[in-house]
Amino acid sequence: MARLLVVEDEARLRAYLKRTLEAEGHVVDSAGSGPDAVRRLREGEFDLVVLDLMLPGFDGFEVMQRAFDRRPDQRVLVLSAVMDVATRVRCLQIGAVDFLGKPFATAELVERIRTRLRASPTSVSQRWLHVGEVTLDLERQALSLDGREVPLSHREFMLLGHLMRRAGEVCSRRELLASIWGYADDLGSNVVDATVRRIRSKVPRPVIETVRNVGYAFSAG
């Protein structure tokens, strides 16, 4: 049993999702607007959020940003009729663990939720991750290097943490996409390479090595 938050502005669909997920044994709260969703996220802890993008007040992108600011490991499954590649990629870059388009098959939604709940979120119980001279602050989502704190976005933090935990090994682009974004294909956009470029632009010396035609490796000494 998990505690879920359904964020959907269409009342009949919101009620249907709530009934369906409660029938699966989950405890389900719901919200019909962006501000209502953020309020509920402030008041309670949720194992997963099922989130529409087109919401009154402010949209699902803003809800995700505020959710991750409060809790970096919050799991969000986007359920939206807006299904173009750019929107899907943007959701994944912000931090969503999955994206399902509308109209959807109920059985697929239920199974995707089961899958995402089984996956362990990034652990933040340990405050620091140390590799060589590089330290990752798992609570503040920041990189500490040469006595300087470098703030990271949620995806930058997740990707760098993955590489640091696998220091000395080569991580393929496919592995990183599956682990950090939850997808096995590239969705028409090279989000892994783009995230690596952003990390490199923030760090004064190389910490990520490109392994040609394969992927990346953490290389800080």
The pLDDT tens digits of the residues spanning 20-44 come to: 999 999 999 999 999 999 999 988 8
Is residue 164 within 8 A of residue 217, CB to CB? The reply is: no
The pLDDT value given to residue 127: 67
Question: Is beta strand 76-80 parallel, antiparallel or unpaired with respect to 98-101?
Answer: parallel
The number of beta carbons lying within 10 Å of the beta carbon of residue 176 is 22
Write out residues in the chain with pLDDT < 70, as ranges: 120-127, 139, 182-189, 220-221
DSSP state for residue 147 in the 8-state scheme = T
* Six token digits for residue 124: 């933040």
Is residue 202 within 8 A of residue 182, CB to CB? The reply is: no
Strands (E), 20-165: 27-31, 48-51, 76-80, 98-101, 128-131, 134-137, 142-145, 148-151
The number of beta carbons lying within 10 Å of the beta carbon of residue 20 is 15
Rounded CA-CA distance 153/32 in Å is 27
Rounded CA-CA distance 4/76 in Å is 10
Rounded CA-CA distance 136/122 in Å is 13
- φ, ψ for residue 16 (rounded to 5)? -65, -45
The pLDDT value given to residue 25: 93
The pLDDT value given to residue 123: 41
The pLDDT value given to residue 125: 41
| Furthest C-alpha separation in the chain | 56
**Which of 116, 98, 89 minimizes the C-alpha distance to 195?**
89
The pLDDT value given to residue 185: 60
The pLDDT value given to residue 173: 85
